[in-house]
Amino acid sequence: MEFRRVILIILDGVGVGEMPDAGKYGDCGSATFQNTYRANGGLKIKNMLSLGMGRITGIERDYPVEGAFGKSAIASEGKDSTTGHWEIAGVITREPFPTFPDGFPDELIREFERLTCRKVIGNKPASGTEIIKELGEKHLKTGALIVYTSADSVFQIAAHEDVVPVEKLYEYCRIAREICRDDYRVGRVIARPFKGKVGEFYRTERRRDFSVPAPDGIVLDSLIKAGRMVLGVGKVDYIFGGRGFTECVHTKDNNDGMRQILNSMKRLAEGGMIFSNLVDFDMRWGHRNNYEAFGRGLEDFDRFIPTLKDNTVDGDIVIITADHGNDPTTISTDHTR
């Protein structure tokens, strides 16, 4: 069968079980969907079950299923967003992006300070919400940039919007992106603006990712060369370094993302691809170990499925998948393999 439209929806971080090599990554026992389901005492997700999620995860194996379903294993090394999205687009990462469990090398930090004319504080793995609690006041007093990383290959820069205007923060991220190439091979540089007063800091929705440019061979390039439109929804164009999309609309949250998927379907009446990402599962709930909100998010998406189906036509294929896991029931606040 020839498909006219492809609607790809990535539930960011919604994994369905550990990989055989999960132990190498410290992720034994991780199973994002299953553990979230059980931690909440069950979820109202009849539409996801009807698409095969119960059989994939063993939650409700006998639930009647329509459509095709399966459980895929990542072939790439790593468990970060860039690696997962690139593989979905057809490129396998054989050598994982390096991580920095002891912080970034002194020479890299010194060069970043020289180019930005600002000092750096932090330079360690940390939770984004915790490090602004720890260093936010010092940042306000000194203007120094809060730089931190995680279990992924990320160079994150946090700054209060009253101290560093967001566009200036993006400029600093572009500088970091340039010097984090070559020997360092950092997967992503991420702007993490925040607001609020001491003791009440909160991150704003103006995050931006600056990824390594995607390599040759992604299917998105092939579609565009064939004259097809590729519409992005969410952060996806950032993950591919701006490559492979006709255009992309950024979203505030999952609900906005679901609305934009429907809007893009209306625009793509003549055929093409929608490549979308619903990031709240990962960014808002997985990294913060909030399994209750994670569960509510799954129920919200489940309620969206009938509307999604009502907007499909003959010749459409809808693919719902994930880029990695992010189990909110484990001690770790990082991605899971």
- Digit-coded pLDDT (tens) for 292-318: 999 999 999 999 999 999 999 999 999
pLDDT in tens, 51-69: 999 999 999 889 999 989 9
DSSP state of 284: I
Q: Residue 45 in contact with residue 53, Cβ under 8 Å? A: yes
Q: Residue 222 in contact with residue 216, Cβ under 8 Å? A: no
User: Is the model's pLDDT at 1 over the cut of 80?
Assistant: no
Give me the residue spans of the domains in the chain: 5-95+213-321, 106-211
Residue of 201, 189, 190 whose CA lies nearest to 139: 201
Average pLDDT, integer, range 92-119: 96
- Residue 35 neighbours by CB under 8 Å, 6+ apart: 291, 327, 328, 329, 330
> Average pLDDT of the chain?
95
Average pLDDT, integer, range 100-105: 97
Report DSSP letters for 225-242, one per residue: HTT-EEEEESSHHHHTTT
Spatial separation of the C-alpha atoms in residues 279 and 285, rounded to whole Å: 9
User: Is the model's pLDDT at 276 over the cut of 90?
Assistant: yes
Which tokens sit at 95? 């050598």
Which tokens sit at 297? 């998010």
Residue of 34, 26, 29 whose CA lies nearest to 291: 34
Residue 216 pLDDT: 87
pLDDT in tens, 222-234: 999 999 999 999 9
pLDDT in tens, 242-263: 889 999 999 999 999 999 999 9
Spatial separation of the C-alpha atoms in residues 146 and 116, rounded to whole Å: 13
User: Residue 321 is inside which H or E element, if any?
Assistant: strand 316-321
5-95+213-321 in CATH: which number? 3.40.720.10
Residue 118 pLDDT: 98
CA distances from 85 to 74, 169, 236, 244 (A): 11, 25, 8, 12
* CATH superfamily assigned to domain 106-211: Phosphopentomutase (3.30.70.1250)
- Residue 77 neighbours by CB under 8 Å, 6+ apart: 83, 93, 94, 95, 96
Spatial separation of the C-alpha atoms in residues 61 and 53, rounded to whole Å: 9
Where do we find the tokens 């993950």? 239
Q: Strand, coil or helix: what is 254?
A: helix
Spatial separation of the C-alpha atoms in residues 106 and 88, rounded to whole Å: 35
Helix locations, 226-323, DSSP H: 236-239, 254-267, 280, 291-310
* Confidence band of 84 (pLDDT split at 50, 70, 90): very high
∠ CA 251-254-255, rounded to 5°: 90
SS (H, E, C) 184-220: CCCCEEEEEEEECCCCCCEECCCCEEEECCCCCCCHH
pTM here is 0.89
